[in-house]
């Protein structure tokens, strides 16, 4: 069973920074794409950022573009989400997702890590 282990969540003040990390139990090179999603109570899970096997990055939300950066560290076997200039609207549970290579591909989700932006 593949695990996606998130870490780095917590309480941060508005304007501050936080770095989330996702460490899969298998090599990150086993994934076609790794994504960070976020979810608030009563709402759907939204895609925040993704990075594919070639290193291409995508940020579908205008609200995070320029503030959040997704990156991968092959040495640590981790995909990080650097969150800068956070605001209360960034408060959510953040989930790591990986689509593992295969036919068909296999989806793997982490348990989520809470990020709270508050003074």
pLDDT of residue 108: 97
Q: How confident is the model at residue 111 (pLDDT cuts 50, 70, 90)?
A: very high
Collapsed DSSP state (helix, strand, coil) of residue 90: helix
Question: How far is C-alpha 73 from the chain's CA centre?
Answer: 13
**Is the sign of the CA dihedral 60, 13, 113, 98 positive or negative?**
positive
Q: How confident is the model at residue 26 (pLDDT cuts 50, 70, 90)?
A: very high
Structure-block tokens of residue 36: 């960070």
pLDDT tens, residue by residue, 72-98: 999 999 999 999 999 999 999 999 999
C-alpha to C-alpha distance for 94 and 2, rounded to whole angstroms:
18
pLDDT of residue 39: 98
Beta sheet of 78-83, edge-to-edge order: 4-7, 18-24, 78-83, 68-73
SS3 content of the chain, % helix, strand, coil (to 5): 5, 55, 40
pLDDT of residue 38: 98
Q: What is the mean pLDDT of residues 9-30?
A: 97
Q: How confident is the model at residue 10 (pLDDT cuts 50, 70, 90)?
A: very high
pLDDT of residue 68: 98
Phi–psi pair at 56, nearest 5 degrees: -70, 140
pLDDT tens, residue by residue, 33-72: 999 999 999 999 999 999 999 999 999 999 999 999 999 9
């Amino acid at each position: 069973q593949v695990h996606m282990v998130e870490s780095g969540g917590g309480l941060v003040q508005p304007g501050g920074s936080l770095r989330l990390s996702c460490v899969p139990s298998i090599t990150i090179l086993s994934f076609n794409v790794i994504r960070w999603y976020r979810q608030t109570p009563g709402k759907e899970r939204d895609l925040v950022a993704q990075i594919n096997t070639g290193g291409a990055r995508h940020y579908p939300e205008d609200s995070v573009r320029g503030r959040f950066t997704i990156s991968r560290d092959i040495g640590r076997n981790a995909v990080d989400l650097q969150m800068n200039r956070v605001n209360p609207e960034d408060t959510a549970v953040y989930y790591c997702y990986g689509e593992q290579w295969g036919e068909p591909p296999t989806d793997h989700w982490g348990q989520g890590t809470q990020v709270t932006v508050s003074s």
